[in-house]
Amino acid sequence: MKTPRELKVTPIRNGTVIDHITANKALHVLKILNLPSQETAVTIGMNVKSSQMGAKDIVKIEGRELESAEVDKIALIAPQATINIIRDYEIVTKGKVKLLETISGIIRCANPNCITNTEEPVDSLFYVTSQEPLVVRCYFCERAMDQAEIENQFGPL
Ligand SMILES: Nc1ncnc2c1ncn2[C@@H]1O[C@H](COP(=O)(O)OP(=O)(O)OP(=O)(O)O)[C@@H](O)[C@H]1O
Ligand SMILES: [Mg+2]
Ligand SMILES: [Zn+2]
């Protein structure tokens, strides 16, 4: 039997580790963050074993701390995700994404006739009617949207 040589993933000096991502959703998370880009080092683990989740994805991004609007989008895709901010190789903040009871402005209503799509200044607003699997309902026209419709809004992978 062969034993593997130890292969360590390079730690990041400054940046963000997004841990506990729903298995197989790492690419959706990267899509939300407009990554990979030419100058950002990204390490992705998919279907990694996790004691808490069975399987999970993990994304490590060098040189970038996430903005709260990005964290709010990630909550729609990976509601268990934890956001670890790394500075000088140490975790300085450990946060959890938060799926609120209402979602304002992040996604668009799928109904083209909805007032949020026809009247310019009206922001979208949804109630979360189910968290997992995610289902939201438009406050204005009551159109329901499921996980797949929401993911599609972030564009093709
Ligand atoms: N400098 C770093 N570079 C790359 N990854 C890092 C760095 N520091 C921590 N991590 C990663 O960040 C994640 C969270 O680290 P932590 O040490 O808090 O692990 P943990 O105790 O398993 O956390 P949790 O309780 O959130 O599961 C781990 O996946 C760890 O490998
Ligand atoms: Mg852990
Ligand atoms: Zn609507």
What pLDDT is recorded for position 120?
Answer: 79
Tell me: do 28 and 83 sit in the same domain: yes
Tell me: do 20 and 59 sit in the same domain: yes
Q: What single DSSP character describes residue 73? A: H
What is the Å distance from ligand 2's center to 58 Cα?
11
Write out residues with Cβ below 6 Å of ligand 1. 11-12, 17, 19, 58, 60, 82, 84, 86, 89, 91
Give the mean pLDDT of 94-110. Answer: 94
Residue 126 to residue 16: CA distance in whole angstroms: 29
- Name every residue whose Cβ is closer than 8 Å to that of residue 30 and which is 6 or more positions away in sequence: 36, 42, 44, 59
Residue 52 lies in a domain: yes
pLDDT at 157 over 80: yes
pLDDT at 12 over 80: yes
The domain tally of the chain equals 2
Tell me: do 92 and 20 sit in the same domain: yes
Could you say which ligand is closest to the alpha carbon of residue 114? 3
Beta-sheet strands, E only, within the chain: 15-22, 42-50, 54-62, 82-87, 90-96, 102-104, 125-130, 135-138, 144-146
Instruction: Specify which residues 135 forms β-bridges with.
Output: 130, 146
Q: How confident is the model at residue 4 (pLDDT cuts 50, 70, 90)?
A: confident
Predicted confidence (pLDDT) per residue in 105-121, tens digit: 999 999 999 999 998 78
What pLDDT is recorded for position 124?
Answer: 95
What pLDDT is recorded for position 96?
Answer: 95
Residue 140 near residue 114, CB atoms below 8 Å: yes
Give the mean pLDDT of 36-62. Answer: 94
Residue 40 lies in a domain: yes
Strand order in the sheet with 42-50: 42-50, 54-62, 15-22, 82-87, 90-96
Kindly tell me the sign of the dihedral angle through the C-alpha atoms of 66, 95, 150, 136.
Answer: negative
Residue 64, domain CATH: 3.30.70.140
Residue 144 lies in a domain: yes
What is the Å distance from ligand 1's center to 66 Cα?
16
Boundaries of domain holding 90: 15-96
Residue 112 lies in a domain: yes
Does residue 33 or residue 38 have the better pLDDT? 33
Predicted confidence (pLDDT) per residue in 57-95, tens digit: 999 999 999 999 999 999 999 999 999 999 999 999 999
